[in-house]
Amino acid sequence: MGASIAILGSHGQLGREFRSLLPGDDGVHALTRADADLAIPGQITAILQKLKPKLVINCSAYNLVDQCEATPEAAFAVNSFGVRELAIACRENHATLVHFSTDYVFGLDEKRQMAYVESDAPGPVSSYGLSKLAGEYFVRSLCPDHYIIRTCGLYGRHGAGGKGTNFVETMLKLATAGKSIRVVTPAIACALTASVVEP
């Protein structure tokens, strides 16, 4: 087989947006968690060896933030060690890896008032943030041809899907219900930006 693009996590909110941007293209393989689960060692290596994509877009993640604190091993299995295997598989198959990370890699500086930039040192304060930062380091160290995109809350035409809700959907529901809406300023600023960290 000769796929040109593989989208991991194609059933999630971000993955579905990428699928809608690449409709009907025979060179695109949309892989759900059932097809390629980063928590299962060896699975992604075998899949990429079979498909031989030129570009891998990793939209998959263990991103249930509260549950990450209760079960950090589940977060690290996907966000760190699964991403490590993915980075190695991309390198071995000469594929470019586009990997999505999070603003949760920051937070240690509680008094910070300025927006973060790509060159700022990370400092996660949660298991989720730490697992995602470890994944970033694996990508940077193991896959020469990569892009790391740090982003905040996601929203789009397809909605949040199985996770429950997203920022925009929550705001619309509260407004429709006539409830008071209170949002911290950093969330507003973060929703408008995404950082791309290159090697």
The Cβ-side half-sphere exposure at 38, using a 13 Å CA radius, reads 25
- What are 26's two structure tokens? 């025979």
pLDDT confidence of residue 178: 84
pLDDT confidence of residue 194: 44
pLDDT confidence of residue 165: 67
- 4: β partners: none
128 tagged catalytic: yes
- Tell me the residue range of the domain where 20 lies: 5-197
Domain total of the chain: 1
pLDDT confidence of residue 6: 96
Which CATH number characterizes residue 130's domain?
3.40.50.720
Which candidate in 62, 104, 116, 128 is catalytic?
128
CA–CA separation, 5 and 64 (whole Å)? 27
CA–CA separation, 16 and 10 (whole Å)? 5
- How confident is the prediction along the chain (199 residues), in pLDDT tens digits per residue? 445 999 999 998 899 889 888 866 678 999 999 999 999 999 999 999 999 999 999 999 998 888 999 999 999 999 999 999 999 999 999 999 999 999 999 999 888 888 888 889 999 999 999 999 999 999 999 999 999 999 887 766 666 555 556 777 777 788 888 877 776 555 444 444 444 555 4
